[in-house]
Amino acid sequence: MTMITNHMPTVELQAIDAAHHMHPFTHGADLNAKGVRVITRAKGVTLTDSEGNEILDAMAGLWCVNLGYGREELAEVAARQMRELPYYNTFFQTTHVPAIALAEKLAQLTPGDLNHVFYAGSGSEANDTNIRLVRTYWAEKGSPEKKIIIARKNGYHGSSVGSASLGGMTPMHEQGGLPIEDIHHIDQPHWYAEGGDMDQGEFGLMRARALEEAILELGEDKVAAFIGEPVQGAGGVIIPPETYWPEIQRICDKYNILLIADEVICGFGRTGNWFGSETFGIKPHIMTIAKGLSSGYAPIGGSLLCDEVAEVINGCEFSHGYTYSGHPVTCAVALENLRILDEEKIVEKAGKEIAPYFKEKWETLADHPLVGEARIVGHMGSIALTPHKESRAKFASDAGTAGLICREHCFANKLIMRHTGDRMVISPPLVITKAEIDTLVSRAHKALDQAHAQLKTEGLLKAAS
Ligand SMILES: *Cc1c(COP(=O)(O)O)cnc(C)c1O
């Protein structure tokens, strides 16, 4: 076996990666032709690659490293837990301290009476759990025909068969025959792209009422639940109009359907409060968590249930669970992550002290000629690239062409921003400082200038007709 170390030349690592490693959401042959980037270390908000470049990670990995990289305490806790009890299951009348302690901490941190956790290994798994949970809930209550889950176009809920079915990403549905049965998608509250000349508040109400129309069309007695991300993340950081969530809440209450808030990104400080549900005034029956739960240091997810739903589910044998539901090492790491976020007041400081500064700086990007809007809530933001600001026009080129060009320039300027289509998104660690925000925004500005110049040279600044 070859010893693969950080000290191997990058080209050799790339060759082995190309030969044997298949990457998620990637055109493999294209990637292998370009060569993959090898990340070797990280500290705070900064990544180091195999060439020694230091890069500002404005994505916190994949929206998850809320605490920032390199916290010794999490490594210590993981090592201690592995020595003491590396694994035991929670299936057969058994439990262990990390699963207990984390469950209690989650009950304390979450709003309302979300007092019960069902553990999973990821956000996708947790949303698969949710599909079975809500259908089982209604079956137990004597309404087994209440099965349909309403979700949104361009929502993201994971990549397993169930969670990708909840998601509204058409390229994902096209591969492998998704969605599964009894999932219904409604339009998203994406004013910038779809709102036309409408007032934003009116548009928000209209898109929320699409839920009511769907319930009336499908039948109240057939609809089990609605699922949504407080802010759509992977869909492009779509911050809904203020009118949207209160109207969704009203409709869920009126028609007696369960409300699932997918807080996999929004949870644990991302939107300025501990949970997006607090920022947007949502009272969910079920909440999906993952990502920031462990700041990505260990894979873990979960479903939080309110008292009433938990009581019904506890009234039957729920035939569901994962080998790693409540894994002791990942639970211990998540608990330590939450302890630090809480005791060091990282969530509070990020929301109250840093977020207003971040917003002021981020919104300066809206003045750039290539930018149609620059928006941010807490520590998640987006900019829409456009060939024509006033009309919010799309590019004539394939969606994502301009975004990809911009992303390449970001990387060349030692900044990681992701693109979804022609929107650039950020979601940095919550520990980012004001000085680092200045660096982030100035690098973004420079990358936008360069992308603008390249798009002009290549004749790509044309608006779609
Ligand atoms: C990432 C994500 C998921 C899926 O989580 P995984 O851990 O990748 O399975 C689910 N919902 C939302 C909102 C996400 O952003």
What's this model's pTM, rounded to 2 decimal places? 0.97
Q: Tell me the CATH number for domain 73-343.
A: 3.40.640.10
Evaluate whether 37-70+346-457 and 73-343 have a shared fold: no
HEC string for 411-438 = HHCCEECEEECCEEEECCCCCCCHHHHH
Task: Say if ligand 1 is within 6 A of residue 262 CB.
Answer: yes
Q: Domain limits of the chain?
A: 37-70+346-457, 73-343
Instruction: Give the tens place of pLDDT for each residue, 112-166.
Output: 999 999 999 999 999 999 999 999 999 999 999 999 999 999 999 999 999 999 9
CB distance 264 to ligand 1 below 6 Å: yes
Query: Which residue, by CA, sits nearest to atom 11 of ligand 1?
Result: 157
Q: 129: Cβ below 6 Å to ligand 1?
A: no
234 in contact with ligand 1, CB cutoff 6 A: yes
- Tell me, using a 6 A CB cutoff, whether residue 232 lines ligand 1: no
Ligand 1 contact via 204 beta carbon (within 6 Å): no
* Residue 102 pLDDT > 70: yes
Span 414-457, pLDDT tens digits: 999 999 999 999 999 999 999 999 999 999 999 999 999 999 99
- Considering the chain, what percentage of its residues have pLDDT values greater than 90? 98
Distance from Cα 63 to the centre of ligand 1, integer Å: 9
Q: Is the pLDDT of residue 7 over 90?
A: no
Write out pLDDT tens, residues 370-402.
999 999 999 999 999 999 999 999 999 999 999
Atom of ligand 1 nearest to the CA of 163: 10
CB neighbour list of residue 36: distance below 8 Å, 6 or more residues apart: 14, 17, 18, 23
The protein residue with its alpha carbon nearest to ligand 1, atom 10, reads: 157
φ, ψ for residue 186, nearest 5 deg = -110, 170
Give residue 123 CA to ligand 1 midpoint distance, Å: 4
Which class does domain 37-70+346-457 fall in? Answer: alpha beta
159 C-alpha to center of ligand 1: Å? Answer: 8
Q: State pLDDT tens for residues 217-242.
A: 999 999 999 999 999 999 999 999 99
Give just the sign of the alpha carbon dihedral 105, 113, 218, 155: negative
CA 450 to ligand 1 centroid distance, Å? 32
pLDDT digits (tens, 9 = 90+) for 274-297: 999 999 999 999 999 999 999 999
CA 306 – CA 81 distance, rounded (Å): 30
Cα gap 345→311, rounded to integer Å: 33
CA of 76 to the centre of ligand 1 (A): 27
